[in-house]
């Protein structure tokens, strides 16, 4: 994770939306395919892969400002949920909003993400918590792929227990397995299935049963694990060959070597800890030293992590979880691509891959992590198409002092 394979004085040729060649400028500029190409001179700047944000709750309708006010008044996540806020408050909005308004909300966030350098994003359903609404959300997410960035949909029907099944979580899991999973699979609306296994969410036996059914339908598996309490969800992810175990703030230290030996990626989400005012971040350093694959993601959602700027996530990873700048870049690009199963076409700058890249208003990649809260992206390119070009003289938050 520390080897970024940096090319000083490099050059890249893009043709038909893909990288045709990349390497030292002295070699690439002499290739026949470079002759007559339109030149984009970014001398003195950093060119790097676009961010792959592998964990978001993109489609939510409206921000949870009442939750925010309650949190500032001293209520915690679980108290807010018991007061009528949290996931169920977003559920009511998503169920009642028109398709056009929901889609417009998601498109706005995708544009904001692109402006900050994200070129591919995973997006979960899970706020409708009814069959019809979940399918509608997944159809919206599928329709947004490529508008303007890549969207990889995940079915998170097991996000919370809806009011219709209050006190009966097993009944909701049964309904998902018997009625909703088959429909999602038949219509090919999701790449992955996720489950929230934690205190005041779904139990370990419920998660096991649900993911087992999803696996039989051919979905990739993901799991929200140990955000507030370690119920053994990370161990379950490894046992079932899940692509990722996400959050891990309260991961039992005994589970770290197990993740290090596995093919399951630890997806860490420092934005939610920061926004909730928490002090316990996921054990990134210990995971990396144990050999675990670590990815970073925004966890973009209206309740606990309303941040679309992956640069802020990289900064938090360095300052709060003691990752190096190089490890953070790797975790937010190629490792995120591996989680989504798209590392063959995204996450690195290599010949044959999609031309998904950024030009930074920076001379050193470490500036991404150093200037926290800033946007250093001067240019975002997705499949060879320029999505974001910074205005001449645009400030990116650098100050003297």
Looking at residue 127, which CATH number applies to its domain? 3.20.20.140
Asked whether residue 395 is domain-assigned, the answer is no
Verify that 63 and 45 share a domain, yes or no: no
pLDDT at 75 over 50: yes
pLDDT score of 389? 80
**Measured at the alpha carbon of residue 276, what is the angle toward residues 270 and 282, in degrees to the nearest 5?**
30
pLDDT at 82 over 90: no
Last residue of some domain: 298, 319, 339? 339
pLDDT score of 165? 97
Confidence of residue 91 (pLDDT cuts 50, 70, 90): very high
Verify that 38 and 160 share a domain, yes or no: no
pLDDT at 95 over 60: yes
Mean pLDDT, residues 341-369 taken together = 98
pLDDT at 396 over 80: no
How is the beta sheet containing 150-158 ordered, strand by strand?
51-53, 118-124, 150-158, 192-197, 220-225, 244-247, 265-268, 294-296
Confidence of residue 394 (pLDDT cuts 50, 70, 90): low
Residue 225 DSSP SS3: strand
pLDDT at 397 over 90: no
Please give the Cα distance from 214 to 231 (Å, whole number). Answer: 20
Mean pLDDT, residues 253-258 taken together = 95
Asked whether residue 397 is domain-assigned, the answer is no
**Domain range spanning residue 376?**
10-49+351-389
Verify that 37 and 161 share a domain, yes or no: no
Q: Please report, for the domain that includes residue 28, its CATH number.
A: 2.30.40.10
pLDDT at 77 over 90: no
Please give the Cα distance from 74 to 131 (Å, whole number). Answer: 35
Candidates 22, 148, 118; CA nearest to 347 is: 118
**Measured at the alpha carbon of residue 7, what is the angle toward residues 116 and 53, in degrees to the nearest 5?**
30
* Distant-in-sequence, close-in-space partners of 5: CB < 8 Å, separation ≥ 6: none
Give the DSSP letter string of 59-83. --SS--HHHHHHHHTT--HHHHHHT
Verify that 161 and 237 share a domain, yes or no: yes
Verify that 120 and 173 share a domain, yes or no: yes
pLDDT at 70 over 60: yes
Verify that 201 and 83 share a domain, yes or no: yes
Verify that 17 and 151 share a domain, yes or no: no
Asked whether residue 33 is domain-assigned, the answer is yes
118 near 53, Cβ under 8 Å?
yes
Asked whether residue 205 is domain-assigned, the answer is yes
Average pLDDT, the chain: 95
pLDDT score of 392? 54
Please give the Cα distance from 78 to 199 (Å, whole number). Answer: 10
Residues 297-334 have pLDDT tens digits of: 999 999 999 999 999 999 999 999 999 999 999 999 99
pLDDT at 163 over 60: yes
Verify that 179 and 202 share a domain, yes or no: yes
pLDDT score of 399? 29
Asked whether residue 4 is domain-assigned, the answer is no
Verify that 210 and 120 share a domain, yes or no: yes
Asked whether residue 308 is domain-assigned, the answer is yes
pLDDT score of 391? 60
pLDDT at 401 over 60: no
Please give the Cα distance from 401 to 16 (Å, whole number). Answer: 45
Lowest mean pLDDT among 2-6, 83-87, 121-125, 203-207: 83-87
Domain count, the chain: 2
Tokens of 344: 């063959």
H helices, E strands: number in the chain: 17, 14
Residue 42 DSSP SS3: coil
Verify that 116 and 255 share a domain, yes or no: yes
pLDDT score of 65? 95
Q: Is 55 left (phi over 0), alpha (psi -120 to 50) or beta?
A: beta
Confidence of residue 354 (pLDDT cuts 50, 70, 90): very high
Asked whether residue 399 is domain-assigned, the answer is no
pLDDT score of 83? 84
64 near 87, Cβ under 8 Å?
no
pLDDT score of 267? 99
Verify that 107 and 249 share a domain, yes or no: yes
How far is C-alpha 312 from the chain's CA centre? 13
Asked whether residue 2 is domain-assigned, the answer is no
Verify that 19 and 80 share a domain, yes or no: no
């Amino acid at each position: 994770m520390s080897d970024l394979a940096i090319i000083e004085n490099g050059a890249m040729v893009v043709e038909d939306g893909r990288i045709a060649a990349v390497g030292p400028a002295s070699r690439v500029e002499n290739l026949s395919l470079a002759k007559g190409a339109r030149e984009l001179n970014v001398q003195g700047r950093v060119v790097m892969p676009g961010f792959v944000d592998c964990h978001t709750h993109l489609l939510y309708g409206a921000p949870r400002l009442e939750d925010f006010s309650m949190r500032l008044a001293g209520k915690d996540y679980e108290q807010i949920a018991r007061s009528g806020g949290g996931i169920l408050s977003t559920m009511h909005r998503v169920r009642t909003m028109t398709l056009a308004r929901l889609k417009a909300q998601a498109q706005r966030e995708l544009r904001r993400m692109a402006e900050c350098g994200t070129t591919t994003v995973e997006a979960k359903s899970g706020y409708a918590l009814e069959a019809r609404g979940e399918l509608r959300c997944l159809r919206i997410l599928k329709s947004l792929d490529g508008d303007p960035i890549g969207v990889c949909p995940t079915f998170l029907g097991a996000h919370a227990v809806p009011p219709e099944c209050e006190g009966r979580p097993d009944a909701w899991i049964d309904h998902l397995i018997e009625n909703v999973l088959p429909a999602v699979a038949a219509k090919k609306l999701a790449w992955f299935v996720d489950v929230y296994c934690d205190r005041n969410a779904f139990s370990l036996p419920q998660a096991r049963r649900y993911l087992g059914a999803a696996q039989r339908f051919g979905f990739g598996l993901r799991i929200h694990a140990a955000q507030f309490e370690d119920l053994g969800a990370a161990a379950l992810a490894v046992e079932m060959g899940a692509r990722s175990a996400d959050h891990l703030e309260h991961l039992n230290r005994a589970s770290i070597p197990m993740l290090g030996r596995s093919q399951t990626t630890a997806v860490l989400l420092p934005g939610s800890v920061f926004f909730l005012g928490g002090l316990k971040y996921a054990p990134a350093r210990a995971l990396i030293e144990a050999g675990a694959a670590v990815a970073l993601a925004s966890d973009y959602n209206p309740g606990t992590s309303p941040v679309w700027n992956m640069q802020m996530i990289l900064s938090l990873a360095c300052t709060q979880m003691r990752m190096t700048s190089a490890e953070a870049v790797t975790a937010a690009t190629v490792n995120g691509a591996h989680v989504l199963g798209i590392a063959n076409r995204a996450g690195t700058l290599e010949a044959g891959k999609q031309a998904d890249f950024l030009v930074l208003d920076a001379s050193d990649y470490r500036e991404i992590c150093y200037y926290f809260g800033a946007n250093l992206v001067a240019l975002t390119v997705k499949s060879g198409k320029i999505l974001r070009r910074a205005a001449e003289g645009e400030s990116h938050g650098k100050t003297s002092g």
